[in-house]
Chain A
């Protein structure tokens, strides 16, 4: 600030004093804004570079000539280390991923949405806060601990109650994955119910509905998009989960026939074989291609969920 400037009349000097900050402050702030902008766009940079780097490692095999994408997607023959005839078909893994995820959703969706409805509509403030904290803690449990629980606790229970030869199978993976995705479904589902305007509830109550009638006739139809998004995010979590399914589903590369069969998922396949595949080999590149496939699936799922949520907000 230029307070010692005497060229202007004294009466003026405090009224029209130029509010100028030192140059370093102005330029420093501009520099900072550029930095903030760069950090702001970093998310885009990271998502793009994830795709680019994973795709770059996979590209040589994809465009190498010998490799057929249809065989990759629709063949169940996965013999990456065969001496004479290497075959890379991931259909069995795709089926594995979706069977485990589907079972998890069959269990987690009713329970998750039920809990979301209870938390949002049926309980008092104290209970609500407690339950939300518990759900937050539930969501924080690391996937490797879930995997360990499945491997040690659940697998024994499954062998005991179903008489299955091995305890690590679709049922085990599905149950663990259900427990893991319930917190997401609950918290997003609760948000969706909270987003329904209170005037809807008031109108219902004025007509003499009970809370259950209100939930069934008013809230569920009004919040159905948000609840759908909750389910989709649960699916995304299920498809992308690695450590838990690696430890809980067994390692059988084949199309399962019952929920007591062991399977291998796409994620578990990468985790199990990446360490053994020689860098730059076809096997290594096919594993990266599986990564591209996973990235694409989860991207599509998340994008759909986001569009649905955004659609709600626009209304």
Chain B
């Protein structure tokens, strides 16, 4: 017969069942996590394979020709760059200062809770409703017409929550003791923010800005009715293709147009456009992630 202490640590059927269940559960959850990633990789591979005949440098700098059935995507690429940078110029200062207010100045009052709620809701408003707002407010009420500026402002408001959220997170990660040390040597609130809080959270703020770029580059619905058009004649390689009051083409809109509105497009062109857009967005995001990981590894506290 076993002594008591030996039987205590022997696997009973109950323990075996529990460990078996554990193993099964682990594999199921692992499968679910993988199931999210594998389709993505397959699709990515498929897109690149189909796009291969058109992917080249000249595809990037050529303009669409022959009713957009052939040629490149230069006009759309430049349009996207315009939209992204003008919207960034508007939303970055407002977003960063808003985050500074929310994190550094605001106390926990009902009014500031409403501001938080507004930020969350701004992020949740459907993109097509942003388009309606842009149409009503910027195109008609502010009389910008269908233009780069109207589309950029619509994009800026839409992407504002992205910047606010990541800047806030960055500011919140600066330890409170840093601020207290500043105040103790007589710094005002703003001096403390300028000298200590902002420099220590610059990486997070940059990440937010980069994410805004990727978001703005990919959006279609908000610019569809405020400034982006199916086609606009631009000369090849022209960097200053659009004025503020011109209508413009955009990469996301161009992908929508050539895949649904124009019959008889050369088969690989929509795929190549999708790959360029996807590559652009993923590259920008990867840059944000790399920056974040690098700067986090150098963090002094």
Interface set of A (CB-CB < 8 Å, partner B): 19, 29, 32-33, 35-37, 39-44, 46-47, 49-50, 53-54, 56-57, 110-112, 114-115, 117-119, 122-123, 131, 133-138, 140-145, 147-149, 151-153, 179, 182, 186, 210-213, 215, 233, 236, 239-243, 247, 267, 270-271, 274-275, 279, 287-288, 291, 294-295, 298-299, 301-303, 306
A186's nearest neighbour on chain B, judged by CB, is B36
Give the chain B neighbours of A57 by CB distance below 8 A.
Answer: 132, 136
- Are A44's CB and B259's CB within 8 A? no
Please report the C-alpha to C-alpha distance between residue A134 and residue B26 in the assembled complex, in whole angstroms: 20
- 16 further A-B contacts with Cβ under 8 Å, apart from A44-B118, A142-B278, are A36-B105, A40-B106, A46-B122, A135-B36, A137-B289, A140-B211, A144-B253, A148-B274, A149-B47, A151-B259, A179-B40, A240-B127, A267-B221, A270-B131, A274-B225, A295-B126
- Are A140's CB and B214's CB within 8 A? yes
- Are A36's CB and B126's CB within 8 A? no
- Are B221's CB and A29's CB within 8 A? no
- Are A247's CB and B119's CB within 8 A? no
Q: Is B190 interfacial (CB-CB < 8 Å)?
A: yes
Bitwise, B99-137 to A at CB < 8 A (1) or not (0) is: 011100110000000110111111011111111110111
Given the known interface contacts A36-B97, A54-B129, A56-B136, the answer about A306 and B120 at a Cβ–Cβ threshold of 8 Å is yes
Q: Which of B1-51 contact A (CB under 8 A)?
A: 18-19, 21-22, 24-26, 28-33, 35-37, 39-40, 43, 46-47
A-B CB pair tally, cutoff 8 Å: 260
> Which of A148, A211, A274, A298 makes the CB contact (< 8 A) with B270?
A148
- Are B136's CB and A53's CB within 8 A? yes
- Are B260's CB and A151's CB within 8 A? yes
Chain A nearest CB from B9 CB (Å) reads 12
Please report the C-alpha to C-alpha distance between residue A186 and residue B141 in the assembled complex, in whole angstroms: 40
Please report the C-alpha to C-alpha distance between residue A115 and residue B132 in the assembled complex, in whole angstroms: 36
- Are A33's CB and B21's CB within 8 A? no
Of B117, B128, B188, B277, the most chain A CB neighbours within 10 A belong to B128
Please report the C-alpha to C-alpha distance between residue A19 and residue B186 in the assembled complex, in whole angstroms: 9
Give the chain A neighbours of B18 by CB distance below 8 A.
Answer: 210, 213
- Are B122's CB and A118's CB within 8 A? no
Given the known interface contacts A49-B137, A241-B126, A291-B132, the answer about A136 and B289 at a Cβ–Cβ threshold of 8 Å is yes
Q: Is B224 interfacial (CB-CB < 8 Å)?
A: yes
Q: Is B219 interfacial (CB-CB < 8 Å)?
A: yes
Given the known interface contacts A40-B101, A271-B224, the answer about A149 and B43 at a Cβ–Cβ threshold of 8 Å is yes
Q: Is B164 interfacial (CB-CB < 8 Å)?
A: yes
Chain B nearest CB from A149 CB (Å) reads 6
- The 7 closest A-B CB pairs, nearest first, are A142-B218, A240-B126, A40-B101, A114-B32, A39-B97, A118-B29, A212-B25
Please report the C-alpha to C-alpha distance between residue A41 and residue B215 in the assembled complex, in whole angstroms: 23
Q: Is B282 interfacial (CB-CB < 8 Å)?
A: yes
Chain B nearest CB from A128 CB (Å) reads 10
Of B28, B33, B102, B270, the most chain A CB neighbours within 10 A belong to B33
Q: Is B160 interfacial (CB-CB < 8 Å)?
A: yes
- Are B218's CB and A247's CB within 8 A? no
Give the chain B neighbours of A241 by CB distance below 8 A.
Answer: 126-127
Given the known interface contacts A49-B137, A138-B40, the answer about A144 and B46 at a Cβ–Cβ threshold of 8 Å is no
- Are B277's CB and A140's CB within 8 A? no
Please report the C-alpha to C-alpha distance between residue A118 and residue B190 in the assembled complex, in whole angstroms: 43
Chain B nearest CB from A300 CB (Å) reads 10
Please report the C-alpha to C-alpha distance between residue A51 and residue B225 in the assembled complex, in whole angstroms: 18
Give the chain B neighbours of A110 by CB distance below 8 A.
Answer: 32
Give the chain A neighbours of B161 by CB distance below 8 A.
Answer: 43
- Are B270's CB and A47's CB within 8 A? no
Of A46, A133, A152, A294, the most chain B CB neighbours within 10 A belong to A46
- Are A39's CB and B132's CB within 8 A? no
Given the known interface contacts A46-B157, A145-B278, A298-B126, the answer about A134 and B21 at a Cβ–Cβ threshold of 8 Å is no
